[in-house]
Amino acid sequence: MMKAILVAALAGFSLWAGPAELSRASEYYQRTQYQEAFKILQPVLGADPTAHELAGKCQYMMGDFKKAADLFEKAVQLNGQISEHYHWLGRAYGRRAESGNPLVAPHYASKARQMFERAVNMDPKNGEAINDLFDYYLEAPGFLGGGLDKAQALLEKIKANDQAEYYYATAQLAQKRQEFNSAEQHLKRAAELAPRQIGRLLDVAKFLARHGRIIESESFISKAEKIDPNNPKLLFDKAQTYIIAKKNLPTATKLLEQYLKSDLNPEMPSRAEAEKLLRQARGGA
């Protein structure tokens, strides 16, 4: 009897990844060492939804969106009460729609929307899920559940969580409606409300660059450089601004090469995104 109890106890223990494994894997993930993080998690996934979510994020960041979706689906099966699980599952479906067979793209796009909506309904304070749902509504056609009216309706949820993000989202909606003067003012207001966030300043810089206002664009880049000159994201966004304007492409190339040598984290543009942008800079130089 005691032997059977011990066997059952050990079996139950093996269903969950221990805190040490999760901690180590999280550290590797934060350093963008996704393959190493996944290797740590793979043998200890068991029935741990948190481990499945982290493993799914690793696969997502490595570009295997099918494996990522499978892992997020398992996380949802193991614990269907976590908004974040549905949010990441929606992201994986969305990337499958973008990168897979065009015949099944509408199916995965609709599933992405459903997961985003469920994540937001479960947790109205999940700002990233709300932002992704807003982007979906903004970009997707009506037959896939998109629509500017739906994006408009989400603005109040965004406002409740983050005033600066509200003005940024309002600017995106204005641009979609080709109300460019309004978009500019909203982007500048977002930057005023978050004066220490260089991303807000660079949003304005990129907008101005798209409209050929290079000198004004560079003034916002300079403001960002004064706030956080060593932030790797500044290198990426500055290069992106130059590429948008089709100016200073050799400088953009150097900035991206420097970015790729930097210590990155999952919140920053991926190395794959930087490499794609680098090809653009070199091709246009």
> Residue 13's pLDDT band (boundaries 50, 70, 90)?
very low
Q: Is the pLDDT of residue 153 over 50?
A: yes
- Average pLDDT of the chain to the nearest whole number: 92
Mean pLDDT to the nearest integer, 194-198? 94
> What confidence score (pLDDT) does residue 5 get?
30
> Residue 51's pLDDT band (boundaries 50, 70, 90)?
very high
> Residue 285's pLDDT band (boundaries 50, 70, 90)?
low
> Residue 251's pLDDT band (boundaries 50, 70, 90)?
very high
- Determine which of 8-17, 46-55, 178-187, 273-282 has the lowest per-residue pLDDT on average: 8-17
Q: Is the pLDDT of residue 12 over 90?
A: no
- H-type alpha helices, the chain: 2-14, 19-30, 34-41, 49-62, 65-78, 83-99, 105-122, 127-139, 148-161, 163-176, 180-193, 198-210, 214-227, 232-245, 249-260, 271-284
Q: Is the pLDDT of residue 3 over 60?
A: no
Per residue in 101-152, pLDDT tens?
Answer: 899 999 999 999 999 999 999 999 999 999 999 999 999 999 999 999 999 9
pTM of the model: 0.89
Residue 199 to residue 180: CA distance in whole angstroms = 20
> What confidence score (pLDDT) does residue 284 get?
65
Cα Dmax for the chain: 80
Mean pLDDT to the nearest integer, 16-42? 90
Mean pLDDT to the nearest integer, 230-244? 93
Contacts for 16 with CB less than 8 Å, ≥ 6 apart: 44, 46, 47, 48, 51
Report percent pLDDT > 70 for the chain. 93
> Residue 18's pLDDT band (boundaries 50, 70, 90)?
low
CATH superfamily name and code, 203-285: Tetratricopeptide repeat domain (1.25.40.10)
Q: Is the pLDDT of residue 14 over 50?
A: no
Interior CA angle at 205 toward 203 and 208, to 5°? 110
Check: CB of residue 163 under 8 Å from CB of residue 193. Answer: yes
Mean pLDDT to the nearest integer, 79-95? 97
Q: Which amino acid is at 173?
A: L
